[in-house]
């Protein structure tokens, strides 16, 4: 699935909310990191930071 900032998706008994995305340019790689809130029963129980690294 694809989410825009602020959108949510149900995964089992959890809800994931896409909060932010940013890039980071370093000497040998460019990274793209997302911030995802993990909710259960409407309450935030954690935050995930999935990342993609593009190596040069």
Residue-level pLDDT, tens digit, the chain, 56 residues: 899 999 999 999 999 999 999 999 999 999 999 999 999 999 999 999 999 999 99
- How much is the pLDDT for 1? 81
Quote the Cα angle for 47-51-53, to 5°: 165
Task: Give domain status of residue 2, yes or no.
Answer: no
Q: Domain range holding 20?
A: 8-55
Our count of domains for the chain comes to 1
Q: pTM of this prediction? A: 0.86
Task: Give domain status of residue 21, yes or no.
Answer: yes
Task: Give domain status of residue 3, yes or no.
Answer: no
Query: Is the CA virtual torsion 20, 16, 3, 34 positive or negative?
Result: positive
């Amino acid at each position: 699935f694809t989410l825009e900032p602020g959108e949510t998706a149900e995964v089992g008994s959890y809800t994931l909310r896409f909060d932010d995305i940013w890039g980071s340019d370093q000497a040998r790689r460019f990274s793209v990191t997302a911030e995802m809130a993990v909710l259960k029963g409407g309450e935030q129980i954690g935050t995930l930071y999935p990342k993609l690294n593009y190596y040069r």
